[in-house]
Amino acid sequence: MSSESAGNPVSGSDDEGLAEKVALLRRRATAVLAHMAPAATELGAVFEAAGHELALVGGPVRDAFLGRSSADLDFATSASPDETQALLARWGDSHWDIGREFGTIGASRRGRDGEPDVVVEVTTYRSDEYDPASRKPVVAFGDTLEGDLSRRDFTVNAMAVRLPSLTFVDPHDGLVDLAAQVLRTPIEPERSFDDDPLRMMRAARFAAQLGFAVDPGAWSAIVAMADRVTIVSAERVRDELDKLLLSRSPRAGLEVLVETGLADHVLPELTGMKLAVDEHHRHKDVYEHSLTVLDQAIDLESGPEGPVPGPDLVLRLAALLHDIGKPATRRFEAGGTVSFHHHEVVGAKMSAKRLRALRYDKETVKQVSRLVELHLRFHGYGDGAWTDSAVRRYVTDAGPLLERLHRLTRADCTTRNRRKAQRLSSAYDELEARIEKLRGEEELAAMRPDLDGEQIMAALGVPPGPAVGRAYRFLMELRLDRGPLGPEAAREELLAWWATQEG
């Protein structure tokens, strides 16, 4: 793999360790690119034969140096979108132009000789800029690969491999930054973030995904320009937040958001949880507690075949936001204690409001806010004194969120008191055992009254209407309190209740 770069700042450097890391990255990339080369070089030959440049760019190149391969490949080209579409139609088994507005044409091809399918996106050389009065980027097409790379978010994503020659192009020394694990912009950070303010969010996201540090110059620019992110649509901000939260280390990215001031504009409640610890240390730092709960909830996610396969966005959002209502409900009580009465109820409303503002779908909003509302419910079980009725209600109220609630509740224990932590864990073990016992005896997952609507109407001699709904709710409460009674006993209870209603 030959090279085109801005120079070789490592070879003349005293940092031999960094030079060794760069050499290791090159060896990894050679192996990965050799594996993906057949499809990529063949496509490169197609474009070259038509008189156009084609280069593998961005994430796939970065990941190749990190020893990771990808079936989804991003390319940049000198060809126009129309020319690209025509070439991909010949190369692939299918193609689409949903990204044409931004110069992007996609295609897929079935794997040959047992190899996996290949999905590609090819984008005309371009630069993205924002009009100060607009929330959408303005696309301007360019004419050189180097110009296209200069408009990338960070140098580690501004590397390319020309095809079909497999020439490595690194005009901004992204490989050195990759070895140093630093996020630096290819051009002045102020200019880069002004062109596309979402790049500031990407700094936080890549800190979480890659574990890299933000370059001091980029960090200073984000601090100074954080309010510029408000020009970006809520949907694009949400997508970056999702990628951050679903990464291997969300904490690192969330800390970047808070410490640079970006969170003030995209998730202000997160900053709001940074309650100043008073001199008497009468309460925990809610912000640090919430990050720890998130870490612990991630550790409790299950494998692909388990009940909560990770990464689980709903669980992670709920863990992050479960105490969002504490700042609004904090009260200093007599005797020096601190209370947060009903913070779970307030927090559920605040969570729903913020997630709707970020344009999350209705189901995600509903599930996350419900988990926030329920996250304290277990603490009434501390002495193990719940009746079977209370256990049934716990399961019924959680519904399909029960497995996530199990994990959120366990993750919410961050006490350093080992004895207290063990007591809480044992109590929850007991609760889960009771749930499983009742589930086996009573089919808790399909909890319903002993009589359905038709049977209710027959027993009471009433037509469909509000009375049937009231009777159904009565029987459901009876089912929760006393367990399954059977149709005959339930009918007797219903008739006795109905007599009091008529009277």
3-state SS, 278-337, equals: CCCCCCCCHHHHHHHHHHHHHHHCECCCCCCECCCHHHHHHHHHCCCCHHHHCEECCCCC
Cα–Cα distance, 175 to 4 (Å, whole number): 12
Mean pLDDT of all residues in 102-115: 83
Specify whether the CB–CB gap between 43 and 54 falls below 8 A.
yes
> For the chain, what are the domain ranges?
1-177, 302-446, 453-502
Summarize pLDDT for 214-247 with one digit per residue, the tens. 999 999 999 999 999 999 999 999 999 999 999 9
In this prediction, residue 157 carries a pLDDT of 95
Residue 276 contacts by C-beta under 8 Å, 6 or more apart in sequence?
Answer: none
- Residue 277: pLDDT band with limits 50, 70, 90: very low
Phi, psi for residue 127 in degrees, rounded to 5: -145, 145
Match domain 1-177 to its CATH number in 3.90.330.10, 3.30.460.10, 3.30.465.10, 1.10.510.10: 3.30.460.10
- How many residues make up the chain in this entry? 503
* 300-314, 432-446, 477-491, range with the lowest pLDDT: 432-446
Instruction: Please name which of 234, 365, 347, 243 lies closest in space to residue 290, comparing C-alpha atoms.
Output: 347
* 53-62, 70-79, 318-327, range with the lowest pLDDT: 70-79
Residue 208 contacts by C-beta under 8 Å, 6 or more apart in sequence?
Answer: 244, 245, 247, 248, 249, 250, 251, 252, 253, 254, 256
Cα–Cα distance, 71 to 38 (Å, whole number): 12
| Other CB atoms within 10 A of residue 150 CB | 18
Summarize pLDDT for 399-446 with one digit per residue, the tens. 899 999 999 999 998 877 788 888 888 888 888 888 888 777 655 555
Question: Count of alpha carbons within 13 Å of 42, Cβ hemisphere only?
Answer: 12
Cα–Cα distance, 50 to 417 (Å, whole number): 70
Summarize pLDDT for 16-39 with one digit per residue, the tens. 788 888 888 888 777 777 776 677
Locate the DSSP E strands across 85-214. 94-99, 104-109, 118-124, 126-130, 137-141, 160-163, 167-170, 182-183, 213-214
* 213-222, 276-285, 375-384, range with the lowest pLDDT: 276-285
Cα–Cα distance, 10 to 87 (Å, whole number): 39
Residue for token pair 């996020």: 183
In this prediction, residue 180 carries a pLDDT of 93
Task: Pick 85 or 23 by higher pLDDT.
Answer: 85
In this prediction, residue 280 carries a pLDDT of 39
Cα–Cα distance, 244 to 377 (Å, whole number): 29
Q: Is 272 helix (H, G, I), strand (E, B) or coil?
A: helix
Residue for token pair 């519904």: 399
- Residue 275: pLDDT band with limits 50, 70, 90: low
> Does the predicted model carry a pTM greater than 0.85?
no
Question: Is the pLDDT at 71 greater than 70, yes or no?
Answer: no
| Other CB atoms within 10 A of residue 108 CB | 16
Which residues sit opposite 139 in a β-bridge?
128
- Residue 282: pLDDT band with limits 50, 70, 90: very low
